[in-house]
Chain A
Amino acid sequence: MKNIAIPQIDNASLVAFRVFFGIVAMWSSLRFVLNGWVERFFSEPTYFFSFGGFEWVKVLPLSWMYAAFYVLSILGFMIAVGFLYRLASLLYFLIFTYIELIDVTNYLNHYYLVSIVVLMLVFLPLNRRAAIDVVIRPSLYSDKIGVHALYWLRIQVGVVYVFAGLAKASSDWLIQAQPLTIWLRSRVDTPIIGGLLEYRESAYIMSWLGFLFDTTVVIWLLWPKTRKAAYIVLVGFHISTGLLFNIGMFPWIMIVAATVFFSPNWPVLFISGLRLRSRKEKKNLPNPVGGHMRRPLSHVLFIALWCSFQFLFPLRTHLYGGNVLWHEQGMRWSWRVMVREKNGSISYNVVNEDGRKQVVSPRRYLTAHQAREMSGQPDLIAKLGKHIGKKTGENVRVFVDAKVSLNGRKPIPLIDPKIDIMNVDVGILPYSWVTDAP
């Protein structure tokens, strides 16, 4: 295919991103082992919720699952130090994504982000500087990279922020300040600011600030004049949400990810800034920016296709109409982070061929964690219902008693209790068996 000329920039910023991301990836995997989550999430359950089309993904024996997490930690370290970088990135992507595909109840937006970013690393040559790969093969060294690489990462990170912000443009978030009102009141023990969290006004202020932050932070990061201040605010925002809420590595991933908005040579300036005192000396630093590199047009087209998908896919929920927080169609892979407090009480009424009815509790098949996660997601409730029906016998009808509360509202049935769940479709078509949102 035809080559095109792409402006080249200093690769220092993206190399630094590789190092930071590798460290976060290593730590993310290690803490799973240290917290005992490998056993809890992959050995204790007897039933796993598959993602549509990935039913063939099965959990491995516990010792293999532990091995997978240890390997992930090592691969994260290899990415950070740039040793066999592309292979390490590819393996990290495959193993991490495999683990995420085992059970839907483990799905988190930031795990999806890790999968996406590490897949991008497979295509990005970020091992040409400050990497063991360069020590082994000096010919690899380069301090330049095509500007397309930088914009690719910026767009991906920007998509996360913008869609997380747009998800907050709802009456619950902005008018009722929910679920923040609920969440903040239970966090009055937080040092320093705890006393303020008692008040509903705090939830309103934080709801609006959160909305404005997510929707506009990319603009402030892109504008050189506001970049520093925006990043300081960003770090403060993520650290405070990390302290307030149990969101694991998400703050650290975003703090690292947002560095892609810095000047491409910021690490050089930063390190030099520590050594060079005068402004003149700093100005005289070599700047590799300038010139062009030729790259196949297919590379650019691939990135354009990727970005288009990332722009369009989170919007798919609008094809379904209704409230995505209720029916959840289009909820996953759409960056709708921390926007709902949803709790359900679920039981299945199983009617045998002879008309005898039995009530089956999800806890018979699920761990407490799985039952909690499932209780607000109609597709998972239906999948378990079908599983229970199949286990019970032939010609069994299964009806769901699913009382669900969204953002503190009085619980109402999430699924039409008169519909036999054995006959419903849990694909991509609209769920006619899910009730209207409260």
Chain B
Amino acid sequence: MRIVLFLVSITVLLSTCSNEEPTSEATDLSESSTTYKELRAKVIDEITSQNLARFELFESNLVALEEALFILDMDFNAEGLNKARQSFEDVMLSWQTIEATLYVPDDSNEAWTISRDDIYSWPLTSRCRIDQELVKKTYENTQDLQTLLVNATGLDAVEYLLWHSDENECPPQAMVNADGSWREISDLNERRAKYLLASVKLVKSNTDTLKKSSLMLGESLKKTNTAEALNVLSNSLYYLDTNVKDLKIAQPLGEQECAEDTCFEKMELQFSGLSLLSIHRNLSAFEQTFFADPGFDDLLKASDAADIADDIRAALDEALLISTQNVTLRELHDTGDGLRLLALIKSITDRLKTDFIGVLDLELPQRAEGDND
């Protein structure tokens, strides 16, 4: 009896010392008919099931682009080029959805033969390197093209080649300029068309491999339904942090890694003008994963932390609205909304890196395994 009284007194005493409660009030899971494990299984099932349709759309867009480039290769003209550019926009925007939802395990470099960079290597793209390959006609041999570094192939190379001017982007001392080989090219457009066609074929082949790996992983995650499986899926959410917030917005707007007021030369998809639309697609993809039915928001609700999902919903809605404008990121910045978009996305990623992983007991991507105590 004394022990009970002692425990009760300690409880009362400590409750008076408590300030804010660690999590908000909500229904206890024990009152719900669905267990957390069952809910998690449904979340994993739902999110992994979204993958196939995304890849199928991307692949059908790739086929359309390949056809447009095939026609362009037969007869290089302005109309054909425009059609190819339009097809490219569809391809790129469908890729942006895949890219932002591509969940990969931390050790994927060893396990997967094809990575995201093999399809779209931005911001690693080397325009001079692409120009050099145009001179060398590397694209004529599929094997040679496959062995090129990722920064001269993929959808980023396709964008550059589709909007290419007659000048190259190599410094004067580079071989193609120093030895005059660039100036000697008389069939630049024909070369571009062939390079484009070969690049898209390579992207198609790489996509097939990536799709198989991704779908296989999805099936394996579904079967295991473990905390680790959920962790792998959550990795894709952090695309919003390093890629969208830092690389796509903060750097071009001059907030990060930029020596001038702005660094729009670092902007993604600056030739096609899709810089803002790609961000919009990334945000939509994030929404599809986070607010899937059921999604991470439901796991948060089941963990008495609906406020996290609500706050992310509010910030995401505003960010989606801003990014839906039919302008580039540079134009958005001129209107003053660029920094607002950055702040909104940061408010989301702040939550992803703090109470979101805390409440769901997840690990950030690429965190080395180690002991705790």
| Residue in A37, A178, A198, A372 whose CB lies within 8 Å of B29 | A198
| Residue in A110, A198, A372 whose CB lies within 8 Å of B37 | A198
* Nearest B residue (CB) for A338: B373
A368 to B367, CA, bound (A): 5
- Residue A276 at the B interface, CB < 8 A? no
A188 touches B358 (CB 8 A): no
Among B35-55, those with CB < 8 Å from A are: 35-37, 40
Among A103-127, those with CB < 8 Å from B are: 106, 108-110
Sort A-B residue pairs by CB-CB distance and give the 9 closest, nearest first. A248-B371, A186-B361, A171-B18, A405-B354, A411-B354, A405-B355, A345-B353, A369-B368, A345-B350
Interface residue stretch chosen among A8-16, A46-54, A229-237, A354-362: A354-362
B37 touches A189 (CB 8 A): yes
- Residue B334 at the A interface, CB < 8 A? no
B29 touches A200 (CB 8 A): yes
Among B348-373, those with CB < 8 Å from A are: 349-355, 357-373
B255 touches A248 (CB 8 A): no
Chain B: minimal CB distance from A299 (Å): 32
Known: A200-B29, A437-B19. 18 other contacts (CB 8 A): A35-B369, A41-B368, A169-B14, A171-B14, A175-B18, A188-B36, A195-B35, A198-B29, A199-B28, A201-B30, A247-B371, A248-B371, A248-B372, A345-B349, A361-B256, A403-B350, A406-B22, A438-B19
- Residue A194 at the B interface, CB < 8 A? yes
A41 touches B373 (CB 8 A): no
A176 touches B354 (CB 8 A): no
Among A185-205, those with CB < 8 Å from B are: 185-189, 194-195, 198-201
- Residue B213 at the A interface, CB < 8 A? no
- Residue B10 at the A interface, CB < 8 A? yes
* Nearest B residue (CB) for A404: B354
B250 touches A359 (CB 8 A): yes
A264 to B36, CA, bound (A): 48
- A411 with B373, Cβ < 8 A, contacts A171-B18, A174-B11, A200-B30 known: no
- Residue A344 at the B interface, CB < 8 A? yes
- Residue A170 at the B interface, CB < 8 A? yes
B355 touches A409 (CB 8 A): yes
Residue numbers in B under 8 Å from A187 (CB-CB): 227
Give B contacts to A, CB under 8 Å: 7, 10-11, 14-15, 17-23, 28-30, 35-37, 40, 225-227, 242, 246, 250, 255-258, 303, 305, 307-308, 349-355, 357-373
Give A contacts to B, CB under 8 Å: 35, 37, 40-41, 44, 106, 108-110, 169-172, 174-176, 178-179, 181-183, 185-189, 194-195, 198-201, 208, 245-250, 337-338, 341-345, 357-361, 363, 367-369, 371-372, 375, 403-411, 437-438
- A245 with B372, Cβ < 8 A, contacts A185-B303, A372-B364 known: yes
Residue numbers in A under 8 Å from B37 (CB-CB): 188-189, 194-195, 198
20 pairs, A vs B, C-beta closer than 8 Å: A108-B373, A171-B14, A171-B15, A176-B18, A181-B23, A182-B359, A186-B361, A188-B35, A189-B37, A194-B37, A201-B30, A246-B371, A250-B371, A342-B358, A358-B255, A358-B257, A359-B255, A369-B370, A408-B305, A409-B22
Residue numbers in B under 8 Å from A198 (CB-CB): 29-30, 35-37
- A403 with B354, Cβ < 8 A, contacts A176-B22, A182-B361, A185-B36 known: yes
A108 to B370, CA, bound (A): 11
Q: Which of A44, A187, A341 has the most CB of B within 10 A?
A: A341
Chain B: minimal CB distance from A77 (Å): 21
Residue numbers in B under 8 Å from A44 (CB-CB): 368
Residue numbers in B under 8 Å from A372 (CB-CB): 363-364, 367
* Nearest B residue (CB) for A357: B255
- A41 with B370, Cβ < 8 A, contacts A176-B18, A182-B359, A189-B226 known: yes
Chain B: minimal CB distance from A343 (Å): 5
Residue numbers in B under 8 Å from A108 (CB-CB): 371-373
A358 touches B371 (CB 8 A): no
* Nearest A residue (CB) for B224: A189
Residue numbers in B under 8 Å from A404 (CB-CB): 354
A337 to B373, CA, bound (A): 5
A368 touches B364 (CB 8 A): yes
Chain A: minimal CB distance from B186 (Å): 46
